[in-house]
Amino acid sequence: MDIFSGILFGFQTILEPSNLFYCFVGVFIGTLIGVLPGIGPIGAMSILLPMSFGIPTVSSIIMLAGIYYGAQYGGSTTSILVNIPGEASSIVTCLDGYQMARKGRAGPALGIAAFGSLIGGTFSVIALMFSVIPLAEAALKFGPPEYFSLICLSLLICIYLARGSFVKALIMILVGLILGCVGIDSVSAFPRFAFGCPSLYDGMGLGQVAMGLFGISEALLNLEKSLDRTIFQTRVKNLLPNIQDWKKSMGPIMRGCLLGFLLGILPGGGAVIASFLSYTVEKKISKEPHRFGQGAIEGVAGPETANNAGSGGGFIPLFALGIPANAVLALLLGALIIHGVAPGPTFISQHPKIFWGVIASMYLGNFMLVLLNLPLIGLWVKLLKVPYRILMPLILLFCLIGAYSINNNIADMIVMIIFGMVGYILKKLSYEPAPLVLAFILGPMSETAFRQSLILSDGRFSIFVNRPISAVALLIACLLLVSTGFSFYRKTKAEVIVE
């Protein structure tokens, strides 16, 4: 199936009433999650993951994907009107978006954020459509050694790009790998890390772990916070940017498309790094850098375009290689596996309805998001006034219902509550749980690839360096590890000298 036949098939799929409905539900929930600070797409997808098991695979993935890229749109609303980022990737938007609102230009700020997001999202879908098929064809030449090395590289890039401490990110990766080993070993049939508990013989469920780490823990954290959500009270008007605004914004939008898409492909990169780098680039090349932070529309257009382009770019390694670029897409990978679908080189040929349906849904979903974000600004502003003491107990209730509904087993609820407390403690100690989830999902895949490689080579580890792609991936991984370790050593030494 060629690209144009594929996209026509995709639109036939998405225009089915049920798929169209779930696409709308996904982008609506994504916008809602983006608007409400403190929940995020990971928490929302974790809560909805068990509920998606009862609907068709295509509809489920379309809905979950809509939540992911829809959250990038909604995050700009709170950044501009409240100066509180609804999403981590919208932190940079606060700098100039809120200042534009204070100057009476909230409308153009919201407008350029929506249109930039539309352009960035559409660009990433087009680039995804044309690049994922050649990459999948090339990946057909990959064997177990290549997959093991690429997974190692992905995890190390995740550590390298971690926003917090290198050591803490490394610890989270190791913990995730250990948790992925829980259950009966597929080769020896011997229970590992089950501690005699029959409920753990099948391993820990992704839904329970994710809902605990992101849903329960986030609810507990927000209940103890007293966020000052002073909403800018001026009436939002003139949502369409004028000609001068477009002249200033077109360059940042075009650069944001390219930067966001390329960074979105990198494991551990994605929308957050893309938005920060876009803002830095625009400030560097601007003839009036002093305007940034004072209400420059370029400081809204570039990052908002980049974070949406970055969310689309992350689908390339997921669909072509079966390797998620970030924790959100790791949940999407988990959903595909639970539905009996294995992403990878044969994903497009074996499951064309899912692939082309998701591609077409992203085209349609981006236009839905513009219609949801601009005309319904008043509704989103009212939702910002919902107190956390009402919102968070509802999240806890949905998590409990979702955990129980997976297997109708109380043990799953207990596992989720335990991970909720663990996630709460981790976040209080500044440990980021996203690398843990990524390693939890990739761990069993890497173990399987490792064992298959040793079987192919009669137990010789040289197979990992004798094959060019595997050797290059491991070399880059080693260089990243050495570089990150050396930077950490220098930083630690400097702190000791200062003290």
Q: Which of the two residues, 226 and 324, has the higher pLDDT score?
A: 324
Residue 298 has pLDDT above 80, yes or no: yes
Q: Among candidates 36, 474, 89, which has minimal Cα distance to 311?
A: 89
Predicted local confidence at residue 22, as pLDDT: 92
Ranges 33-42, 380-389, 434-443, most confident? 434-443
Q: Which amino acid is at 234?
A: T
Q: Per residue in 438-459, pLDDT tens?
A: 888 888 888 888 988 888 888 8
| CA dist., res. 320 & res. 346, Å (int) | 8
Predicted local confidence at residue 89, as pLDDT: 67
Predicted local confidence at residue 209, as pLDDT: 83
Angle (CA) 318 323 328, round 5°: 70
Cβ partners under 8 Å of residue 480, min gap 6: 153, 156, 157, 159, 160
| CA dist., res. 406 & res. 335, Å (int) | 12
Q: Per residue in 127-141, pLDDT tens?
A: 888 888 888 777 777
| CA dist., res. 284 & res. 91, Å (int) | 19
| Cβ–Cβ under 8 Å, residues 217 and 420 | yes
Work out the percent of the chain whose per-residue pLDDT is above 70. 87
- pTM for the model stands at 0.75
Q: How far does the chain reach from its first CA to its final CA, in angstroms?
A: 64
pLDDT interval class at 24 (50, 70, 90) = very high
